[in-house]
Amino acid sequence: MIEFVLNGRGRRVRVPPMKRLLDVLREDCSLPGTKEGCGEGECGACSVLLDGRTVCSCLVPVVQVRGARVVTVEGLDRGGRPSALQRAFIDLGAAQCGICTPGMLVTAAELLRHARGRVPSEEEVREALAGNLCRCTGYQKIVDAVRAAARGASRDGAAGTSGARAPGRSRAGTARAKRSRTARTKRSRRRG
Amino acid sequence: MKAFAYVNATSERDAVAALKFDGIALPLAGGQDLLARMKDYIDTPERVVNVKNALDRTAAPTSGGGWRIGASMKIVDLLEHADIGKMYPAIIAAATDIGTPQIRHQGTVGGNLNQRPRCWYFRNEEFVCYKKGGSRCFAVNGENQYHAIFGNDGPSHIVHPSSLAVPFVAYGATFRVIGSKGEREVAAAEYFTMPDDELLTHVMLPAPGNVKTGHYEVRYKASHDWPLAFTTVVLAMNGGIVQSGRVVLGAVAPVPWRSKPAEDALAGKPLNEATAAAAAEAAVSEAKPMSGNAYKVPIARTAVKRAILNAAGIKTV
């Protein structure tokens, strides 16, 4: 019997010790959000957070997560609604075929948590996502979505409210920024 | 993957005992290399011994003013270690671009040093090459564009895959190993040609003293790749003059390649661009490229030159 904390809740599984964490999540924990790509640690599709850090779950025998905290893409939502990061991926078209998306979201979530409200540079986002391959998007929209989510988070943090845009903080100019602003406005309406 | 038995060792002694096995037993740490090899049938151990819990995961200062790093320390923890970063900046420079964030989060120092070659013949189960107990190196008459340009007189032409091995040799580290005959310390440079019947437990770094260090890597891609060639230099200084130094090249030879000609070219010289260029030229004077990798010679020369300029505080592109 192996016990660990999965998406904030205690979980016990009775599986062979060397079964891949990836398979345990998908088959024994009914969480198929985590995807298998290469199965060899090269593509990052199966990324999950292990004690707060992204790892390739295809290269982690489940015995090594005993007592650890595991967060999968299913654990990123906010009370059943998409997080700001997930919303940005949807709004900016950062997902196409979808196989890399769960791993991208998990890795980006770790980056944003470490950034603590600061908007990471494009270079930082690319470096953080270096272990997550995407064959569809060409990455630009993914990078844009991560930074848009960070801008939303940092503004929320600075202004203390979710929708208000403090004067003088405008980053207007590009169509991209306008699109993400519209997205945020829509989001706050839905929430309101 | 072939079926195997799993043993979770909880002490160094346990690990040594479990690895002494009448059959194939292999140690598992981060698993970033071993598990991929097992999936590809490159290795088919009958017993896998988890040593991650048996070996030290931390770094601690030594009485001589240096540091000892546990083999189970994760690469990310090494990267975030402020004291090691201050005292041994080239180690951090080398660790920064290992693999991907995911690999650095799970991979260990011991695993990085002991990973198997990345040669495409080695990684293909169809090729029983010299490194897998066969009698030949298929790179000689095959595709060898990423293979060795130094040390090609031996039977194998792989390049050593470890990024950390190079700065460890450059800082004059010793490795603590344990085996059935007990423990001992060996010079880092000797470790990579030893028979692998002992288990690496610690990397012992001496106090660096009054040195200037530089590190430079040449890569196709900014990340998620192995460098084409890289160099660490650790130079003992006497004012502005290089007293003595270690110049170690990576990704160019079957072992971390210490360049005596480059070190001789540096000794007694002022640390400037002319010295760097002369030492780099000396370093590649002993290169013996294969049929498809002569292009790596000027790349290695550039890596040496820029590592020295980096140590001198002269900006390179």
B89 in helix, strand or coil? helix
In what helix (H) or strand (E) does residue B296 lie, and over which residues does it extend? helix B296-312
Q: Dump pLDDT digits (tens) for A137-184.
A: 999 999 999 999 999 876 654 333 333 333 333 333 334 434 443 443
Give pLDDT, residue B223: 83
Q: Closest Cα of chain A to B19: distance in Å?
A: 18
Q: Which residue of A has its CA nearest to B31?
A: A59
Look up the ipTM and state it.
0.89
Q: Looking at the structure, tell me whether residues B91 and B182 fall in a common domain.
A: yes
**Cβ of B38: how many Cβ atoms within 10 Å?**
20
Residue B98 has a pLDDT of 96
pLDDT at B224: 87
The verdict on A131 touching B (C-beta cutoff 8 Å) is yes
- Among partner residues A17, A107, A131, which is closest to B224 by beta-carbon distance? A131
Instruction: Round the average pLDDT of chain B to a whole number and report it.
Output: 96
Contacts 24+ apart (CB under 8 A), B140-147: B140/B290, B143/B292, B144/B290, B144/B291, B144/B292, B144/B293, B145/B292, B145/B293, B145/B295, B146/B118, B146/B119, B146/B226, B146/B228, B146/B293, B147/B119, B147/B290, B147/B292, B147/B293
Distance between A61 CA and the closest CA of chain B, angstroms: 8
pLDDT tens readout for residues B104-141: 999 999 999 999 999 999 999 999 999 999 999 999 99
Confidence (pTM): 0.90
The CA distance from B245 to B234, in Å, is 6
Residues B78, B178 share a domain: yes
Whether B154 is in a domain gets the answer no
Select from B28, B102, B106 the Cβ nearest to the Cβ of A44: B102
The answer to whether the Cβ–Cβ distance between B6 and A18 falls below 8 Å is: yes
Q: Is the pLDDT of residue B317 over 80?
A: no
For residue B130, what is the DSSP state? G
Q: What gap in Å lies between CA B166 and CA A135, rounded to an integer?
A: 34
Check whether B273 has a pLDDT greater than 80.
Answer: yes
Buried/exposed B189-219: b ≥16 CB within 10 Å, e otherwise: bebbeeeeebbbbbbbbeebeebbbbbbbbb
B199 & B266 share domain: no
Domain endpoint, select from B152, B174, B205: B205
Using a CB–CB cut-off of 8 Å, the residues of B that contact A are 4, 6, 8, 28, 31-32, 35-36, 39-40, 48, 50, 52, 76, 99-103, 105-106, 222-224
B288 domain residue, yes or no: yes
pLDDT of residue A170: 37
A165-169 — which CB contacts under 8 Å span 24+ positions?
none
Q: What is the CATH number of the domain that holds B180?
A: 3.30.465.10
Q: Which of B185, B205, B225 is the last residue of a domain?
A: B205
pLDDT confidence of residue B315? 87
For residue A136, pLDDT over 50 is answered with yes
Within a domain: B306: yes
| More confident site: B187 or A172 | B187
Distance from CA of B140 to the nearest CA of A (A): 28
Give residue limits of the domains in chain A: 2-186
Contact B39 A127 (CB under 8 A): no
What confidence tens digit (pLDDT) does each residue in B210-239 have?
999 999 999 998 888 899 999 999 999 999
Q: Which fold would CATH assign to domain A2-186?
A: Ubiquitin-like (UB roll) (3.10.20)
Q: What is the pLDDT of residue A156?
A: 53
Cβ atoms of B201 and B215 within 8 Å: the answer is no
Q: How far apart are CA A70 and CA A9, in angstroms?
A: 10
**pLDDT tens string A85-132:** 999 999 999 999 999 999 999 999 999 999 999 999 999 999 999 999
**Which residues form the domain of B180?**
59-113+161-205
Q: Are residues B188 and B65 in the same domain?
A: yes
With respect to residue B146, please indicate whether it lies within any of the assigned structural domains: no
**Nearest residue in B to A110, CA atom:** B101
**Is B31 close to A63, i.e. CB distance below 8 A?**
no
What are the chain B neighbours of A54 within 8 Å (beta carbons)?
101-102, 105
CA distances from A21 to B79, B94, B172, B281 (A): 26, 29, 39, 50
Minimum mean pLDDT range among A12-16, A52-56, B1-5? B1-5
Q: Which of A53, A63, A126 sits opposite B105 (nearest CB)?
A: A53
Whether A127 and chain B come into contact, CB under 8 Å, resolves to yes
pLDDT for A178 equals: 40
Interface contact A47, partner B, CB < 8 A: yes
* Digit-coded pLDDT (tens) for B61-119: 999 999 999 999 999 999 999 999 999 999 999 999 999 999 999 999 999 999 999 99
Give the CATH number, domain containing residue B302. Answer: 3.30.390.50
User: Tokens representing B9?
Assistant: 């060792």
- Asked if pLDDT for residue B156 goes beyond 70, the answer is yes
> Do residues B103 and B172 both lie within one domain?
yes
**Which residues in chain A are contacts of B39 at CB distance < 8 A?**
39-40
- The answer to whether residues B285 and B307 belong to one domain is yes
Percent over 70 (pLDDT), chain B: 100
Confidence check: pLDDT of B203 > 80? yes
Residues B186 and B216 in one domain: no
Give me the residue from A54, A61, A126 closest to B102, CB to CB.
Answer: A54
Whether B201 and B218 map to the same domain: the answer is: no
pLDDT at B253: 98
Predicted local confidence at residue B2, as pLDDT:
85
- How many separate domains does chain B show? 2
The residue in chain B having the minimum alpha-carbon distance to the alpha carbon of residue A131 is: B100
B89 assigned to some structural domain: yes
